[in-house]
Structure 1
Amino acid sequence: MNHWRVALAALALGTSWTAIAAPANAPDPRFSGGDLFNLAAASDPQISPDGRSIAYVRRSNDIMTDRARSSIWLIDTTTGDQRPLVAGSGNHMSPRWSPDGKRLAYYSTSEGGAPQLFVRWMDTGQCARITGLPDSPNGIAWSPDGRRIAYLMTVPDEGAKLGSAPPKPEGAEWAKPLEIIDKVTYRTDDGGYVKPGFDHIFVVDALGGAPRQLTFGAYHDGNPAWTPDGRAILFSAVRKPDWEMIANDSEVYRLDVDSGTVSTLTDRRGPDNAPKVSPDGRLIAYVGFDDHKKGFEQGDLYVMNADGGGSRRVAPALDRSIDQFEWASDGHSIVASYEEAGSVVVSRIGLDGRVSRIASDVAGGGLDRPYAGGGFSLARNGTVAFTTDSVSRPPDVAVATGGKVRQLTRLNDLALSGKSLGTLRTLAVTAPDGSPVPSWILLPPGYQDGQRVPTILEIHGGPYAAYGQHFSTDYQLYAAAGYAVLYTNPRGSTGYGQAFADGIEKTYPDSNTADLLAAVDAAVGSGIADPENVFVTGGSGGGILTAWLIGKTDRFRAAASQKPVINWTSMSLTSDGIQFFGPYWMGALPWENYQSYWARSPLSLMANVKTPTLVVVGAEDYRTPVSEAEQLYSALKLRGVPTMLVKVPNASHGGIAGRPSQSAAKAAAIIAWFDKYRTRREPQTAERAGQ
């Protein structure tokens, strides 16, 4: 009788009996949501000073806890052999080598509670917990002699006071006390509501003991960087009376370790960040720009004398935004990374301005979508360790030395070798004004030339960011469901120079309309996209553009607007960056130019919308707050447009795909929404469609 119960249950769920009862004869080659739990990704590769070993963080998903777990692994750069170095319970991250390469500092939650600082002796494998702190340390920096470690930590503050409740009787159960907020930024997307306190620099003996606080005051200080003589620490911060309202005006400071004296080394209107001292101590390199209150300005590389004088820009012709850099051991050049054409490049930049490329395929911007990203580290002998990926594989570890690049890990070959994944093609797209629009299209597994397939235009966020030829779980899930995925880097994307980014300055989102629709036209014209089955989605900036496009055209069968902005006035006053969005993106505050705010808000186009639209948002999104998605949902309901609202529980803006089950479920919801409005018919060739 049991088999009849199973059959009836299958019918009740709308599932075929064959799918339930028939045992699998072979592994399923389709990429599915369950495969997200089998993936691993490399990040934060740290090469030892002698270049012989790389410690890196391996992140893998735990199906029982539905969370990513991080461990630290060690790779021999000569043989490629690797082994777990710090694993077991908890999460282990941020490995940093001592200057002599004999010890490794890292953070770990192995003992429960907040992450603590540990040191491992590489010859014996012994470990010692160095800190026992109530909050998490950040920004590990070894002193040059290896005796001390500097770090950044939040120092609690009492916070604002305003009156008090009456005395509480002993044993009484009262409501929680009032929350008194007086800070400009009182919640952040990555941390939620901010506890009162300020980030300050501490130093602790590398053998353990009581830490010493080095910086003080009602300011948030940046990560520490030692001078070669160990007498001073450099950091960047906004240490000005009106610091809370300043978006882009940090300076570089010098902290005398013995006396605690802080002196200012830079002074201009604009941010100066990430200072690092040359090996001989004569020069300081840093990243910054002159602030013109644009939506985006590239971070340029500067050097100045150790006393702050003689500042000059290095390689001004590069026209790229510097993400990360390290001094070469000879002190005559700097190794830096920057975005370029959808990927990240690592190059050697001479102090004379000459630029020579070391590696072009640095990657690691996340798994759900194909963002440019990744990190690197530099050994004394010039060997560079970095993360790299491909359309079919998440990030691995590679090294570049002597003009050659070798990939050292292949973390997902076993998990993905039996899967039929989507394949990528570059798509030639030209905007109406003749400008090229970098674009790609991911084809569903088994695609045959000439076949027309339903196609999703997926738009990146930012908007000052970039997609590239990288692995994406969302895209592979869409492809497995039979969709091609069209994605672009329209004007405003990074990695193509300041002028390209300026293409949306004070005109976004409408200035992207022509670029995106030109990509759709090109996908149809290529014979790939079925013109009757084109869909649109995107998150954050892509969610804004999705909401904007459905107010401009009816050509999409359905849409899914993820974590959008629908009303620039409400967003600029409720986001976690109110100092920035109004003055820099909109060019004025809402009451100063409300017409511009309204004209650039997708809400202004709602009377035109007919496209069935799914709305998706993290329930704890403080960047494009939940109220923005709710406004879009309500507007669509009032208009009578088919819609549903999907909230991802406990998810922030940046963490909406952080839990594997939620990432898979979100993609499944979007696919189901598109499937609902997809025209079902026999696969067409371009000839049958009259192309």
Structure 2
Amino acid sequence: MNHSRSLTALALMLFATSLPAPALSAPAESANPLFSGRDLFNLSAASDAQISPDGRTVAYVRRSADIMTDKIRSSIWLINIGSGEQRPIAAGTGDHFSPRWSPDGGRLAYVSTGEGGSPQLFVHWMDSGQSVRVTGLPDSPQGISWSPDGRRIAYLMSVPDEGSKLGAAPEKPEGAQWAKPLEILDKVTYRTDDAGYLKPGFDKIFMVDANGGAPRQLTFGAYHDGVPEWMPDGRAILFSAIRKPDWEMTVLDSEIYRLDLDTGDVAALTSRNGPDAAPVASPDGRSIAYLGYNDHKKGFEQADLYVMDANGANPRLVAPNLDRGINQISWSADGRAIIAGYEEDGSVTVSRIGLDGSVRSLTHEAADPGYDRPYGGGSFSVAKNGTIAFTTSPFNRPTDVAISTGGTKRQLTQLNDLSLGAKNLGSLRSFVATAPDGGRVPSWLLLPPTYKEGQRVPVILEIHGGPYAAYGPHFSTDYQQYAAAGYAVLYTNPRGSTGYGQGFADGIEKTYPASNFDDLMAAVDAAIASGVADPDNLFVTGGSGGGILTAWIVGKTNRFKAAASQKPVTNWASMSLTSDGAPFYGPYWMGSLPWENYQAYWSRSPLSLMANVKTPTLVVVGGSDYRTPVSEAEQLYSALKLQRVPTALVKVPDASHGGIASRPSQSAAKASAIIAWFDRYRKK
């Protein structure tokens, strides 16, 4: 029993007895057939689908909203592939995530906060159904990896460091109440969007007995080490890291290292100028597959697939004609091929890539469990028999678990059929617009549930962030709310988007955001030409990179009735020095540092166009955004005010850049605020 909740309820009941009876609203006569913000609390999404070595069972993380705490809770479920039966193995209090099978499939390791305090590593025995905590750690274990013999588990964890000290406060009298001590920051990256201000420390690799006991630290030094990957003989671990004297300023030059468990020696296996990462040893231990590229100081470069000998010799590029950025790899059980995932046309394709460079697709439908917007992305796992497990999401459902055997897909879950089956959702159309220079602009239109053929409706151009990212034909709570309010939603993958080849991504190299304007307007013109978009009822919004482009667009044209710029960059000089990626933006996106070529920064900043803005523009930002900091949104808001352009500033309390929609109530409220802003200027 929750005693605090019971006491609160009792107090409210006693207080209510002294007041007149409130007027009660009439009960609803029928369920709302349209998708609304309230429906966010009824959704579930599958993620991190892990298939057992024998290919008979899938463990996955189910993410569901808790309406009483306004948080997303995660639990771990098992699916019997043969029967379709599901059962939870880690649910209830706390969050449970990162399921990983032991090599023999008899146990499942996972991370949980179920016992309170920091996340801990647990192991679940499949035969007995028992789960045991095997660690007592001060911080969360990450990247858990079983040893080949199943006796040990390696993981990554932050090790605290004293940090810098400058002088000291006077000695405090006993019992005195003094202010907090000084905080001294001396790292280039001193805060991140997901973790806030960083405590001194470094990520290090540890190992613990799978039956529990004291862990053993394996790597040392003032560097951040990467996720561990075992060699098949169990005598060494591979990982990626930047272990160089100037590591803080070395943004994209990681190497792959081999850690000898007998001696503790760490040896670099790669040495080129560019990132090498994600090492995976072949089943026979003779080869290592990995991802990387030669660094050309571009805003974005696709990761290629390489294979080298186990000692780092003879590195070679595999499938050089595959013009896609690979983001995940795993060896096939026979060691003759590598299973690889890469973005393509707004989703993730998983393919079997032979060592001879041949490419055979296994599925085109992998997707990530995003809620608010339809981003591409997706991960997979593979069994010894070649069966692939992944999550998939069409435009009208959040992610479910699916498998692919021999290229044939079978969906194993229907997590939201009950909650969404009675909802009248928007329908999706796809098309390709043509830019003025002849370039292709892949695009989609989500139509309102009430749409009738031949009808012209208000259209919201919603622009993805990144800018090196991609949208796809996937479920979006924001879009379904916009559609329920009577708007069609136009979304596109303009140049710079990933999944269409390096040349397509290079379309905005050192010219963003100006270079996206024509692609986006071409998509709007195509939506009008299709007979769907009302040219007198156009609206524009987007977050992050989409927020930048929204602010840029209203400085270039007055064709939109209203705009909502979400978590934007408005001044590249200030953003590049206050964001959590300070060492990256100057060299890779701008081509110089602000004081070396300020005009280049200013000419690509939306604030430079403020004198032209007439469009009523809402500004939205998370209160704890350290990627595009709050000051960027506030600069835009102040500029609009000074220009006497109708505006308002919406701040989402305590929300980070990546977590602005992580609390269901805030996600729903943010979408509602944008709809209300657009409704204010919508032509009836």
Bin of the TM-score, shorter chain as denominator length: over 0.9
Identity level (%): 75
Q: What is residue 175 of structure 2 aligned with on the other side?
A: 171
Matches within 5 A, 1:357-368: 357-368=361-372
- Matched to 2:677, the amino acid is W
State how far apart, in whole Å, the 2-side matches of 1:417 and 1:503 are.
41
- Matched to 1:576, the amino acid is D
State how far apart, in whole Å, the 2-side matches of 1:54 and 1:534 are.
45
Secondary structure of the residue aligned to 1:588 is coil
- Matched to 2:678, the amino acid is F
Q: What is residue 587 of structure 2 aligned with on the other side?
A: 583
Are positions 1:36 and 2:14 aligned together? no
Contact 2:208 2:215 in 1 (8 A): yes
Q: What is residue 417 of structure 1 aligned with on the other side?
A: 421
1:8 deviates by 12
1:479-526: CA deviation from partner (whole Å, max 9, x where unpaired): 000000000000000000000000000000000000001111111111
Q: What is residue 498 of structure 1 aligned with on the other side?
A: 502
Are positions 1:645 and 2:630 aligned together? no
1:437-475: CA deviation from partner (whole Å, max 9, x where unpaired): 000000000210110111100000000000010000000
Q: What is residue 532 of structure 2 aligned with on the other side?
A: 528
Q: What is residue 475 of structure 2 aligned with on the other side?
A: 471
Contact 1:427 1:523 in 2 (8 A): no
State how far apart, in whole Å, the 1-side matches of 2:626 and 2:20 are.
45
Q: What is residue 544 of structure 2 aligned with on the other side?
A: 540
State how far apart, in whole Å, the 2-side matches of 1:437 and 1:7 are.
59
Number of corresponding residues: 666
1:259 deviates by 1.3
State how far apart, in whole Å, the 2-side matches of 1:543 and 1:168 are.
49
1:374 deviates by 1.8
Unaligned runs of 5+ residues in structure 1 are 10-19, 681-691
Are positions 1:567 and 2:598 aligned together? no
Q: What is residue 186 of structure 1 aligned with on the other side?
A: 190
Are positions 1:552 and 2:549 aligned together? no
State how far apart, in whole Å, the 1-side matches of 2:84 and 2:502 are.
39
Q: What is residue 675 of structure 1 aligned with on the other side?
A: 679
Q: What is residue 209 of structure 2 aligned with on the other side?
A: 205
Q: What is residue 295 of structure 2 aligned with on the other side?
A: 291
Single out whichever of 66-75 and 420-429 deviates more from structure 2.
420-429
- Matched to 1:244, the amino acid is E
Q: What is residue 15 of structure 1 aligned with on the other side?
A: none
Are positions 1:604 and 2:611 aligned together? no
Q: What is residue 327 of structure 2 aligned with on the other side?
A: 323
Q: What is residue 370 of structure 1 aligned with on the other side?
A: 374
> In the alignment, which of 142, 145, 151 is matched to residue 147 of structure 1?
151
Contact 2:46 2:369 in 1 (8 A): no
State how far apart, in whole Å, the 2-side matches of 1:511 and 1:6 are.
63
- Matched to 2:469, the amino acid is A
State how far apart, in whole Å, the 2-side matches of 1:59 and 1:341 are.
26
1:67 deviates by 0.2
Are positions 1:233 and 2:237 aligned together? yes
- Matched to 2:79, the amino acid is I
Contact 1:365 1:372 in 2 (8 A): no
What CA RMSD, in Å, does the superposition of the two structures yield over aligned residues? 1.3
State how far apart, in whole Å, the 2-side matches of 1:608 and 1:7 are.
55
State how far apart, in whole Å, the 2-side matches of 1:365 and 1:28 are.
25
1:434 deviates by 1.0
Secondary structure of the residue aligned to 1:167 is coil
Q: What is residue 68 of structure 2 aligned with on the other side?
A: 64
1:53-79: CA deviation from partner (whole Å, max 9, x where unpaired): 000000000000000000000001112
- Matched to 2:50, the amino acid is Q
1:26 deviates by 1.9
Contact 2:449 2:484 in 1 (8 A): yes
- Matched to 1:609, the amino acid is V
Q: What is residue 312 of structure 1 aligned with on the other side?
A: 316
Secondary structure of the residue aligned to 2:257 is strand
Contact 2:369 2:398 in 1 (8 A): no
State how far apart, in whole Å, the 1-side matches of 2:653 and 2:61 are.
27
Secondary structure of the residue aligned to 1:551 is helix
Q: What is residue 432 of structure 2 aligned with on the other side?
A: 428
Q: What is residue 134 of structure 1 aligned with on the other side?
A: 138
Matches within 5 A, 1:209-288: 209-288=213-292
State how far apart, in whole Å, the 2-side matches of 1:637 and 1:581 are.
29
Are positions 1:47 and 2:25 aligned together? no
1:544-591: CA deviation from partner (whole Å, max 9, x where unpaired): 000000000000000000000000000000000011011100000001
State how far apart, in whole Å, the 2-side matches of 1:195 and 1:594 are.
33
1:428 deviates by 3.2
1:427 deviates by 2.6
Secondary structure of the residue aligned to 1:426 is strand
1:202-233: CA deviation from partner (whole Å, max 9, x where unpaired): 00001100000000000000000000000000
Contact 2:47 2:369 in 1 (8 A): no
Secondary structure of the residue aligned to 2:648 is strand
Q: What is residue 387 of structure 1 aligned with on the other side?
A: 391
> In the alignment, which of 407, 412, 423 is matched to residue 408 of structure 1?
412
Question: TM-score, normalized by length of structure 1?
Answer: 0.95
- Matched to 1:189, the amino acid is D
1:187-207: CA deviation from partner (whole Å, max 9, x where unpaired): 000000000000000000011
State how far apart, in whole Å, the 1-side matches of 2:654 and 2:460 are.
27
1:382-431: CA deviation from partner (whole Å, max 9, x where unpaired): 00001001110000000111231100000000000110000000133110
> In the alignment, which of 282, 302, 305 is matched to residue 306 of structure 2?
302
1:25 deviates by 2.5
State how far apart, in whole Å, the 1-side matches of 2:361 and 2:81 are.
21
State how far apart, in whole Å, the 1-side matches of 2:356 and 2:542 are.
42
1:435 deviates by 1.1
1:365 deviates by 4.7
1:7 deviates by 14
Contact 2:625 2:656 in 1 (8 A): yes
Q: 1:7 to 1:486 in 2, by over 3 A?
A: farther
State how far apart, in whole Å, the 2-side matches of 1:113 and 1:107 are.
12
Q: What is residue 15 of structure 2 aligned with on the other side?
A: none
State how far apart, in whole Å, the 1-side matches of 2:104 and 2:229 are.
17
Q: What is residue 399 of structure 1 aligned with on the other side?
A: 403
1:27 deviates by 1.2
State how far apart, in whole Å, the 1-side matches of 2:649 and 2:22 are.
31
State how far apart, in whole Å, the 2-side matches of 1:632 and 1:446 are.
36
Secondary structure of the residue aligned to 1:117 is strand
> In the alignment, which of 94, 105, 127 is matched to residue 98 of structure 2?
94
Contact 2:108 2:125 in 1 (8 A): yes
Q: What is residue 80 of structure 1 aligned with on the other side?
A: 84
1:22 deviates by 4.8
